[in-house]
Structure 1
Amino acid sequence: MALETRKSPDLDRQLAGLDALELASGARRSPLARAWSALWPMLAAVAIALGVWELVVLSGWKEPWVLPGPRDVLPEFWNVVSEGGFWAAVGLTMRRALVGFAVAIVIGVVIGSLVSQSRILRRAFGSLITGLQTMPSIAWFPLAILLFKLSESAIMFVVVLGAAPSIANGLIAGVDYTPPILLRVGKVMGLRGLALYRHLIIPAALPSFVAGLKQGWAFAWRSLMAGELLVIINNTQSVGTLLHYSRELSDTPRMISVMIVILIIGILIDQLFGLADRTLRNRWGLDTETD
């Protein structure tokens, strides 16, 4: 006991020194340095991708008019994003994406909440939800066009069906992995019914729910792009129609430029979901990164 008493102050000083060292190393990093540490890997990945692309073109694998290189595509990309009609097309595509995703969230949350709380509904519809999630979105378009013709409703129908099952499954998984001890504590504190769900189960399920939202957005975005390629509505111009017409005209540099735009939008949305995820982990004290 005497030996432990003599060692305890030394151990406390060592732990305090390590804590101070960790805090000091974090405090030394300026916001600019932190931003650069997050940015340079993406810039390096872009440079590598452009280099590999140029090497493939120089290898002569395909004719330049079939697969143009970055030197031909990047000027055309600048021309595309400089057009006024291009931003109107992006606006229409994003409006469709956000509206469809919002409807999918409402439907997915309602279905996920009901199924997660009822064993009968889970046995009846649990496998069906997973089956819908794995079903290729493009397989819905023949039915959508038959039901709604070539219209906005046909596109929205497939976008919602593509995203809602992933959102529902994310919520169901989050509820399933809520620690039972939290439920017991909540009931001891008087939480019942809707209050238990609102104040305990939903916050505990947030990590899985956010993951489900992210996956749901990915399905919604892919469904939307497929829809805009297949469902061409008169007097409307979207990102998908720009891609469709550039393909029809065999304008490969413009087609690849539009594909790059689709990729950039996807990356930006992913960054927003990443920010939401990091905020959630910080709030829960789970972010242990030391930049």
Structure 2
Amino acid sequence: MPETTERTGRHVRGLDALELQPGRAGDENGPARVAARVWSATWPKLAAITLLLVAWQALAWSGWRSEYVFPGPDRVLPTLLAEVTGPEFWTAVQVTVRRALTGFALALAVGVLIGLAVTRSRALRSAIGSLVTGLQTMPSIVWFPFAMLLYGITESAIMFVIVLGAAPSIATGLTSGIDHVSPSLLRAGRTMGLRGLQHYTLLIVPAALPMFVSGLKQGWAFAWRSLMAGELLVIINQQNSIGWALSQARQLNDAERLLSYVIVVLLIGVLVDVFFNWADRALRRRWGLTQD
């Protein structure tokens, strides 16, 4: 018996030593594994950017349009670098991002309230469900004449259009997420005594989060497009912003500066998309909807 116990102890200690050795198959969070994940997610984007720049430069050199009208990246990127190093650029980005976040926060509050109200009342869903979908499909630029009539040439007009453009998508995403909550999960919640507000805050809304994030992503896309259209149409006392810089570059026929700010708009959209994709993967992993 002592010999058996000693052999078992040696065997367990050997297994512990194997588990503690770095670089084993079970070490999924090691530096090499993390670096491999980062590279696998980064290289397709880098390849796409490289191909885009090469195609853009080739088109500019082909003579399809004059370089004065359609400059290549060899002229636009230095202009972008010069803009980035100036204080006016960061002021413009700050104003635009502040407007985007403020408008999206307002749209989020309105969209969540509408989504929860629609899911709680069948009559309300029948009454305004199609209206919410119709608002979601309307181009945001259609609302700007009415918004300027209501609020004048002010920032409130831009916020009004952002909310009308983004809130329906957010409400639809929340409604779809709640509709797809598993019935067995709902029965389990009732068995555990969840009722009223707790039923939503502790069970339904967390379970609907993966699909709700998709609605948030779509809502941000509508909010960002509405904001860019608003800054181009509603010039507020010459206040510096990305839209104002685009408008000034167009008036001065400065194609290089105009395209440099187009790149800035694209980069901000890509960064936000990366954030939403990360949030979506994290939620799906937490709820067991992916094998990553």
TM-aligned CA deviation for residue 46 of structure 1? 0.6
What are the Cα deviations for residues 156-199 of structure 1, in whole angstroms up to 9, with x where unaligned?
10011111000000000011111111111111111111111111
Q: 2:135 aligns with which of 132, 145, 154?
A: 132
Q: Indicate the residue corresponding to 1:201 in structure 2.
A: 204
Distance in 2, matches of 1:281 and 1:22, equals 24
1:166 aligns with 2:169: yes
Q: 2:274 aligns with which of 261, 271, 291?
A: 271
Q: Indicate the residue corresponding to 2:286 in structure 1.
A: 283
1:188 aligns with 2:201: no
**Which segments of 5 or more consecutive residues in structure 1 lack a partner in the other structure?**
1-20
Q: Mean Cα displacement is larger for which, 56-65 or 201-210?
A: 56-65
Q: 2:182 aligns with which of 179, 196, 205?
A: 179
Percent same amino acid at aligned positions?
57
1:60 aligns with 2:67: no
Distance in 1, matches of 2:113 and 2:85, equals 42
SS in structure 2 at match of 1:116:
helix
Q: What is the RMSD computed on CA atoms of the aligned residues?
A: 1.5
Distance in 2, matches of 1:101 and 1:196, equals 27
State the AA in 1 paired with 2:240: Q
State the AA in 1 paired with 2:76: V
Q: Indicate the residue corresponding to 2:42 in structure 1.
A: 39
Higher relative contact order (CA 8 A, sep 6+): 1
Distance in 1, matches of 2:192 and 2:72, equals 65
Number of paired residues? 269
TM-aligned CA deviation for residue 26 of structure 1? 7.5
Q: 2:235 aligns with which of 232, 237, 248?
A: 232
1:109 aligns with 2:112: yes
Task: Please report the TM-score for the alignment, with normalisation by the length of structure 1.
Answer: 0.89
Q: Indicate the residue corresponding to 1:119 in structure 2.
A: 122
- Cα–Cα, structure 1 residues 76 and 174, in superposed 2: closer, same or farther, change >3 Å? same
Q: Mean Cα displacement is larger for which, 89-98 or 275-284?
A: 275-284
Distance in 2, matches of 1:212 and 1:261, equals 24
Q: Indicate the residue corresponding to 2:99 in structure 1.
A: 96
Misfit runs of 4+, over 3 Å: 21-30
**Which segments of 5 or more consecutive residues in structure 2 lack a partner in the other structure?**
1-23
Distance in 2, matches of 1:225 and 1:260, equals 13
Are the aligned partners of 2:242 and 2:261 in contact in 1 as well (CA < 8 Å)? Answer: yes
TM-aligned CA deviation for residue 229 of structure 1? 0.2
1:210 aligns with 2:198: no
Task: Please report the TM-score for the alignment, with normalisation by the length of structure 2.
Answer: 0.89
